[in-house]
Structure 1
Amino acid sequence: MAGKAGRSADDAARMPLGEHIRELRNRLMKAALAILLGAVIGFVFRSHILHTLENPVCNIQGLSGVGRKNAECPDGALVFSGATAQVNLSFKIAMYCGVVIGSPVWLYQVWAFLAPGLYKKEKKYSLAFIGAAVPLFVGGVVVCYFLFPVIMKVLLTFLNGAGASTMLDASQYMTFCLQMMTVFGVAFVLPLVLVLFNFIGILSSKAMRKHWRIIVLAIFVFGAVAVPTGDPFGMSALALPICVLYFAAVGVSEINDRRRARKRASMPGANLSPDEATDLDLSPAPIEQAESLEDIL
């Protein structure tokens, strides 16, 4: 809904339905182009990405697979089944890279489409949210990557010594790997959502502190469900960083609530009882010095 050059925010907010649809089409085209360019980059470097993501399963000590053993995959656990498996996997990696690499662009396009319907402070907070969400998501993906060797070792050596070889379909493995990284990335962004709710006045830090025990329990339950091994190490590796981010969100929300309370206390008549009348200043002031209620709160 962001308008053309020279169009004000109010004009953009009052655009007719046809203009809204055309604006949505333009935003979608820009987002799709960013994802496509990211996918091209991912496709070009697909072999390097595959080699990086297969390391957790190709270097497990004591694991004997049925695939072709080489220097890049010593245990031979990964195999391709079918003539088109490698092509399908290449496009899957490319699309995932396109979504991740193009995320700053398509997230901004979503924000730009919704911005005319937001208040001034909501625009500022939502744009800051997008800027902070991307590195947090990447941080979750990085944590998952370093945790993944432990997850795969537990899963693939659960019946170690049974005399059977391992055959792990490469496409299924990569899908599982990318899904786990997505779960970790999204989980790292969730505390940021709480901060956003606090800044726009939906959630207070008092409520976040009051229910912290329930939240921490829910985080560990989520960690136990999200990590397929179910072992305490994997669950804690996901839950503990989220708990740290949650309490950081509580701290940021507490600072914001105190700042907001001090601002309200400085307003005329803030300390009056409900039965007392406030002294009103009826003298006119220049229009450029006027403050909106949104800026005061």
Structure 2
Amino acid sequence: MTGSSNTSQGSEMSFLNHLEELRWHLIRATIAVVVMGTVAFILKDFIFDTLIFGPTKKDTFPTYKLLCKGAQFLGFEGTFCDTQFPFRIQSRTPAGQFSAHIWTSITAGFIVAFPYILYEFWRFVSPGLYRNERRSARGFIIVASLLFFTGVLFGYYVVTPLSINFLGTYQVSEAVFNDFDLSSYIGLVRACALASGLIFELPIIIYFLTSIGLVTPQFLRKYRKFALVIVLIISAIITPPDIASQVIVAIPVIVLYEVSIFISKAVIRRQNKKAKAHVK
């Protein structure tokens, strides 16, 4: 079946039929999140003791060991080489721990089920594409999932410990002791991981924006300076307000932006080749 026939069949579907199809894709994606979330709910000890509270354990978490060695190599230790944090995590509401368990499980379910969510999205949009377009984007799910998981790992192993180390050791006065609320702490870990995961999807976003003509390599190069400012602002939002942490987070995002320019250029080159072949 050719792409034109697929497109014509898609155009014959009514708006309500499209909504019905979209509804079932969303239902299947939601079921996948719930199933993975249920597994995460059962694995409570691993999710919380190992993953969620892992960045609070300075003596075992690998990032702090690397940062400590790096600081010692540069001639200073700072707070990275401390053996423990001067704060506690507490729950001050009757349903605080149960609520944290539920929402953390849902978040974990979303992260694990992300490739399937992309698959359902792809199943919804692919019938409207030509066969060559579907073939050229065959690796979309794999690449997008790898970028997302890489971003989540970067957020968990880099952004989260930097944020916790800064906020957990910062004091306006020795008379004030840090007692972090459970929901606030989990929200920090969740925001760092998910925000980084979504930011790492930048090349995929640029690919689709270039494919539909909204973005060009010239546009990306022209506004590179503005993009750098936006990257620094985003880095300042998801990291503590120290320059070192912002630079560490900004570097991979800048690299992703440069990769996105290359991807946009490749898309334009492929479109030009197709146009020339069509003219011949």
TM-score normalised to structure 2 length = 0.78
Structure 2 Cα separation of the partners of residues 105 and 116 of structure 1:
17
1:113 offset after TM fit, Å? 2.2
User: Which residue is equivalent to 1:49?
Assistant: 47
1:253 to 259, 264, 271: 264
Structure 1 Cα separation of the partners of residues 31 and 144 of structure 2:
21
1:64 to 86, 93, 111: 86
1:40 offset after TM fit, Å? 1.0
User: Which residue is equivalent to 1:235?
Assistant: 246
2:224 to 191, 196, 212: 212
* 1:13-32 paired onto structure 2 within 5 Å: 13-32=11-30
> Match for 2:184: what amino acid?
Q
Distance 1:36 1:163, change over 3 A: same
1:61 offset after TM fit, Å? 3.8
Structure 1 Cα separation of the partners of residues 277 and 150 of structure 2:
40
User: Which residue is equivalent to 1:81?
Assistant: 92
Distance 1:163 1:224, change over 3 A: same
Distance 1:254 1:25, change over 3 A: closer
Q: Given that residues 207 and 267 in structure 2 are in contact (C-alpha distance below 8 angstroms), is that contact kept between their aligned partners in structure 1?
A: no
> Match for 1:56: what amino acid?
P
Q: Given that residues 184 and 238 in structure 1 are in contact (C-alpha distance below 8 angstroms), is that contact kept between their aligned partners in structure 2?
A: no
Gaps of 5+ in 1: 1-6, 66-76, 270-297
SS of equivalent residue, structure 1 residue 162: coil
Q: Given that residues 203 and 256 in structure 2 are in contact (C-alpha distance below 8 angstroms), is that contact kept between their aligned partners in structure 1?
A: yes
Deviation string, structure 1 residues 5-25 (Cα, Å, up to 9, x no partner): xx9664344234554344233
Q: Given that residues 111 and 127 in structure 1 are in contact (C-alpha distance below 8 angstroms), is that contact kept between their aligned partners in structure 2?
A: no
The structure where helix makes up a greater share of residues is: 2
User: Which residue is equivalent to 1:222?
Assistant: 234
SS of equivalent residue, structure 1 residue 91: helix
SS of equivalent residue, structure 1 residue 167: strand
Distance 1:9 1:161, change over 3 A: same
Q: CA RMSD in A?
A: 2.8
TM-score normalised to structure 1 length = 0.74
User: Which residue is equivalent to 1:104?
Assistant: 115
User: Which residue is equivalent to 1:195?
Assistant: 207
Q: Percent identity?
A: 22
Structure 2 Cα separation of the partners of residues 203 and 41 of structure 1:
41
Q: Given that residues 79 and 167 in structure 1 are in contact (C-alpha distance below 8 angstroms), is that contact kept between their aligned partners in structure 2?
A: yes
Aligned length: 251
User: Which residue is equivalent to 2:171?
Assistant: 159
Structure 1 Cα separation of the partners of residues 218 and 14 of structure 2:
42
> Match for 1:98: what amino acid?
G
Greater relative contact order (Cα < 8 A, sep 6+):
2
Structure 1 Cα separation of the partners of residues 22 and 111 of structure 2:
21
Structure 2 Cα separation of the partners of residues 139 and 42 of structure 1:
20
2:127 counterpart of 1:116: yes
Structure 2 Cα separation of the partners of residues 84 and 139 of structure 1:
33
Structure 2 Cα separation of the partners of residues 153 and 49 of structure 1:
21
> Match for 1:176: what amino acid?
L
Structure 2 Cα separation of the partners of residues 137 and 8 of structure 1:
30
Deviation string, structure 1 residues 64-118 (Cα, Å, up to 9, x no partner): 34xxxxxxxxxxx112223322211110111101211222222222232233334
Q: Given that residues 122 and 200 in structure 1 are in contact (C-alpha distance below 8 angstroms), is that contact kept between their aligned partners in structure 2?
A: no
User: Which residue is equivalent to 1:33?
Assistant: 31
